[in-house]
Amino acid sequence: DPYSILSIPLGRRLPDPMSAILWNKATKSGQSWTQEELSNALHWPRQFFSLLAGFLFGLVPIKGVTGNALFIVASVTLSFLYLRFLQPDSEDGDHWHVIMEGAVPSYALFLVSWITLYSISQY
């Protein structure tokens, strides 16, 4: 099997991060969340925002430190506000690690889309 290196031991499957149950929970406040569900619920909207912000910043055009700072502040702020909307149990304490968990892939997607659109629209 060419995909055996990617298989999960003992025949277990990873949960689908885009499942209908997760999307249903992600639109309602005060639901019960596992750590993995909460991470997935914050990850995918953040990726969408990164792509959208990259396109917008590339077309406007915004350059340099200003664009980077605006994106970082907006991304962290929107993640924090969305987490407050979801109202997860605070038994685990601070949710800062959940807010920052997908920050690097989000920033990378933002940079790729920003640079690509800026290059296409300006040259």
Q: Residues 36, 15: contact at Cβ < 8 Å?
A: yes
- Percentage of residues of the chain with pLDDT beyond 70: 79
Number of domains in the chain: 1
1: in domain: no
The model's pTM: 0.76
Cβ-contact 99, 42 below 8 angstroms: yes
- DSSP summary character for residue 16: -
pLDDT digits (tens, 9 = 90+) for 75-101: 999 988 988 888 877 665 567 777 888
Q: Judge contact between 14 and 8, C-beta under 8 A.
A: yes
- The confidence score (pLDDT) of residue 1 equals 47
Residue 45 domain boundaries:
18-122
Higher per-residue confidence, 61 vs 65: 65
Structural domain contains residue 64: yes
Residue 10 lies in a domain: no
Question: Does residue 78 fall inside a structural domain?
Answer: yes
